A = this chain, B = another copy of it.
């Protein structure tokens, strides 16, 4: 069968789209996604129908897969987040939503009468997940830092002590990168003498920053959590959204048993699964290693500090949480928002100083904000 060629008008559209994306990428400062990646040496794998269908630890007759690589990626994250050497299970997901959905699903299967608590600043996809899973839930107030309001959480759990709490925590909220104090939350639950509870941690961005910063708070499996989700397309960077989910293996085994009953050992949310993104993550991990990521995290934090100072120099009150690369400031004018792709919520906006964000980008943004405030057009 002859391969037809693409019509010239379509070829032009592709070129225009490419130019557009390239242009947009130059002012890409409002999202927590690194642009500093280069997976060119892996593109040759895109000529095969790779599929990591089902459980990464189960054999498959579909042998065009990268499950061995995927397991190594999961192992690396398990070590990074202090999971028990033999006691974890996980897989490479299509992104944060799937990882959080998996954690909540696991919690629901384990604690059928559970009540989910999550803070107001939790990513909006979590409400959607809870609806999908039909899990009863209560939204808790958020402190100005973006952390969950511990007193509100305590009081609310206390009132519902008859139901096992399922606490959805954030290690980095979307808008302010607020980090929930997980040890404080667990001791709170213990203080209420509640025997059964579940803690899931959405560490989309923070899960790849906190491990590399000195004196960062304890948040991972060492703090007693049951599952966590970390994005791959955020700090590591990827042209395709992806992430990892990790959970206590004993929980997954309980679910796996019940699924076996319906005739399959399929434990992942998605059936046919991307086998390219595990390769991307593996490649980045092998290329940079802990030391490389540490340097990156330190650089990003330094850029964030620089940004806070740059804002302050023009009299704009900006701030950031400790260990955070998210700089929060008053919502800028529309022209600035548009040019710099800045997501706003209520009266605040933020930028996120990922690896590709340079000091000269910050300078240009700050100059744009200053110009816009006196009515000059943003270039």
The residues of A with any CB-CB pair to B shorter than 8 Å are 1, 3-7, 10, 14, 17-18, 21-22, 24-25, 28, 30-31, 33-51, 61-64, 66, 68-69, 94-98, 105, 123-125, 127-128, 131-134, 231, 233, 237-241, 259, 262-264, 266, 269-276, 283, 286-289, 292, 295-296, 299, 337-338, 341-343, 355
Contacts and interface: CB of A to CB of B under 8 A. Distances in A.
A21 to B, nearest CB: 5
B4 A292 contact: yes
A34 B44 CA distance: 17
A239 B39 CA distance: 15
Nearest to A51: B241
A98 B342 CA distance: 30
A361 B343 CA distance: 53
A6 B283 contact: yes
Contact of A22 (B48, B342, B343): B48
A24 B64 contact: yes
A200 to B, nearest CB: 16
Copies in the complex: 2
A10 B284 CA distance: 11
A375 to B, nearest CB: 23
Contact of A133 (B4, B43, B48, B132): B132
A262 B275 CA distance: 34
B28 A95 contact: no
Contacts of A3: 38, 287
A3 B39 CA distance: 12
A272 B299 CA distance: 26
Given A270-B98, A271-B123, A49 B64 contact: no
A49 to B, nearest CB: 4
B128 A266 contact: yes
Nearest to A337: B61
Given A30-B61, A64-B28, A262-B131, A239 B97 contact: no
A279 to B, nearest CB: 8
A128 B53 CA distance: 14
Nearest to A134: B134
Contacts of A18: 44-45
Given A22-B48, A49-B33, A241 B274 contact: yes
Contact of A124 (B1, B10, B128, B263): B263
A101 to B, nearest CB: 8
A165 to B, nearest CB: 20
Contact of A271 (B45, B49, B96): B96
Contacts of A28: 49, 64
A46 B39 contact: yes
The 7 residue pairs across chains A and B that have the minimum distance between CB atoms: A241-B272, A97-B271, A125-B271, A33-B49, A46-B239, A127-B262, A124-B264
